[in-house]
Structure 1
């Protein structure tokens, strides 16, 4: 199998890397973090690169690209630990394009592609524990459409987004709705997250909603799988940069008059970090290549990928801090921010223990050495 990127994909990655290096410096990130964890101007710059329209069809104003291009972009954003949630635009663009009616597509896809509208997935509930079929939100028909009653937690930039994709039950069936943040009955409570980003609790009380699809669970699973693939790629970028920072530190820090990179024990630990990084990279490729597979195959692949990425993220981030010593946990030093980002990513879209259970549940009867 050929894993070389096309010329267009290489150029796309180069363009994003140049923007991250020049336009999203560590100093700018620190300023955005102190200002609340989200910068609309930075998100607009991402949109001007065309990235918010990656998964939006060309007929709707997007680029009409696929999972590999999404993976390339998210890796580069990961290297700069960019906090603005491009993955949410990828999710909303793909889900609305794939499941909504023509009127909803015409109303929202051009705005998502152009960056005028930031639409985020608001699906987590307190009782769900990462299970997508657990949903207490309710939707009822009303004159002119539907109204939704729900409380959703840890919604990315929920108090800054323009609209939400919200799963809610119609009778006993989960459907997916689009709710504008400025609609009546919508309240948000924003807060900073551990990695410096931003999230919110979103409460909907008889909030007017547009029905995206009555097959909400299928659409929600697809949305989360897009998010997992994007997160896996982003995590590879974060780990790649973490590894580079750590290697640079080992090659410049001296102890007993010599560079600590000459210590065999530390070299072995760095080699183990590199091995985990490459394992993660291969599973990120696997996730992206399976994103358009049939749903059962896709869901199994995402669980496998997220489990391996979770293991790798924990190992690489913890080793990086330990190899740096005390400076590795200070807020002023860059590696601590990579550590916090990787720690939070491990728990996003399901932690490692959850996905280990998903892998186990999806194993075939013939799996195993003694089948």
Structure 2
């Protein structure tokens, strides 16, 4: 199988990398964290590259690119541990909205492609424990009652895609942040990104996907999120490994660089092995997004399980190889460690996806296929 990227994909990678290197340096990122974990200026910078229209169909002003192009972008954003929820707004939201009616698509997709509207998925609930079919928020006609947790950039979003339970099952709705009955309580996550609690008290909503099809579209949205996060994690780990290698080559003990110590070289070899395992599963995840639902869900759980293992191992080992400086806020590697640690808990942790893989293994005797 040919894993080479096309010339257009490499050009896309270069454009995003230049943006990250020039406009999203370490000190700029720290300033964004102090300002609340989200910056409209950063968002406009991403929109200026045309990235907001990456997954939006051409008929609505987007580029209509596919999963591999999205993977390329997410890797480069991961290298800069970009705080803004690009995957949520530019990959997941358009995918969900394409299942809505023509009127809703015409109202929102062009605005998303232009970077004028920030729409995020608000699906997590306190008692759900990563299960997408556990939804306590209820729809009463065209109004919603309930609460959602850990909504990305919740205080900055223009609208939310909200799963709610109806008599026929789970449906998906669009709720505008400025609507009556909508409340947000913002806070920072451990990795510095912005999130919020979302409360809905008879909030007016627009039906996007009726029940029972809503759950299937929600599962697709989660799988897109996992694939995007896998690529982002590969970019972050790749950069962290490079930072660690540079540190080992410059830090000296007993008059020599510590990179010459065999024990540390072996640990770096193990780190790089975990990075390449994650990279291969990231490719696998993106390639499987077009498969039928059952095969896709199993593949994405497999990818997320490997991602959880790799991010934990690479983050912990690189931090230990740095020593005490590796956990200081002033040093860049600690921020990669925090981002990788947060990733393990998003879209389902390792125990959740181990259960999902086991339940979907059937007669494969433990062999991923």
Aligning the two structures, in what range does the TM-score lie when normalised by the shorter sequence? over 0.9
SS at match of 1:77: helix
**CA offsets, 1:300-344, max 9 Å, x none?**
010000000110000000001100000000000000000000000
Counterpart selection for 2:179 from 174, 177, 183 = 183
User: For 1:334 and 1:260, how far apart are their aligned partners in 2?
Assistant: 20
SS at match of 2:278: helix
User: For 2:128 and 2:318, how far apart are their aligned partners in 1?
Assistant: 33
- Range that drifts further, 46-55 or 247-256: 46-55
Counterpart selection for 2:363 from 343, 362, 365 = 365
Match of 2:192 in 1: 196
Match of 1:81 in 2: 81
User: For 2:366 and 2:358, how far apart are their aligned partners in 1?
Assistant: 11
Match of 1:259 in 2: 257
TM-score, structure 2 normalization? 0.98
User: For 1:353 and 1:112, how far apart are their aligned partners in 2?
Assistant: 35
User: For 2:253 and 2:362, how far apart are their aligned partners in 1?
Assistant: 53
Match of 2:315 in 1: 317
Q: C-alpha displacement at 1:366, in angstroms?
A: 4.5
User: For 1:201 and 1:368, how far apart are their aligned partners in 2?
Assistant: 39
Runs of at least 4 residues of structure 1 off by over 6 A? none
Match of 1:19 in 2: 19
SS at match of 2:268: helix
Matched, 1:5 2:5: yes
Quickly say closer, same or farther: Cα 1:368–1:253, change in 2 above 3 A.
closer
User: For 2:350 and 2:72, how far apart are their aligned partners in 1?
Assistant: 24
User: For 1:23 and 1:41, how far apart are their aligned partners in 2?
Assistant: 10
Matched, 1:167 2:163: yes
**CA offsets, 1:131-172, max 9 Å, x none?**
00000010021xxxx111120000001111000000001125
SS at match of 1:2: coil
Match of 1:33 in 2: 33
SS at match of 2:205: strand
Quickly say closer, same or farther: Cα 1:366–1:82, change in 2 above 3 A.
closer
Q: C-alpha displacement at 1:44, in angstroms?
A: 1.0
- Structure 1 residues 1-371: aligned runs within 5 Å: 1-89=1-89, 90-97=91-98, 99-141=99-141, 146-214=142-210, 215-368=213-366
SS at match of 1:297: helix
SS at match of 1:363: coil
User: For 2:103 and 2:224, how far apart are their aligned partners in 1?
Assistant: 23
User: For 1:92 and 1:105, how far apart are their aligned partners in 2?
Assistant: 11
User: For 1:104 and 1:172, how far apart are their aligned partners in 2?
Assistant: 22
TM-score, structure 1 normalization? 0.97
User: For 2:118 and 2:250, how far apart are their aligned partners in 1?
Assistant: 42
Structure 1: any 5+ residue segments left out of the alignment? none
Quickly say closer, same or farther: Cα 1:194–1:366, change in 2 above 3 A.
closer
SS at match of 1:131: coil
User: For 1:116 and 1:197, how far apart are their aligned partners in 2?
Assistant: 20
User: For 2:127 and 2:352, how far apart are their aligned partners in 1?
Assistant: 14
User: For 1:45 and 1:301, how far apart are their aligned partners in 2?
Assistant: 33
Quickly say closer, same or farther: Cα 1:100–1:330, change in 2 above 3 A.
same
Structure 2: any 5+ residue segments left out of the alignment? none
Number of residue-to-residue matches in the alignment: 364
User: For 2:355 and 2:41, how far apart are their aligned partners in 1?
Assistant: 40
**CA offsets, 1:168-189, max 9 Å, x none?**
0112510000000000000000
User: For 1:27 and 1:94, how far apart are their aligned partners in 2?
Assistant: 34
Q: C-alpha displacement at 1:104, in angstroms?
A: 0.4
Q: C-alpha displacement at 1:365, in angstroms?
A: 2.6
User: For 1:41 and 1:55, how far apart are their aligned partners in 2?
Assistant: 21
Q: C-alpha displacement at 1:48, in angstroms?
A: 1.2
User: For 2:262 and 2:235, how far apart are their aligned partners in 1?
Assistant: 27
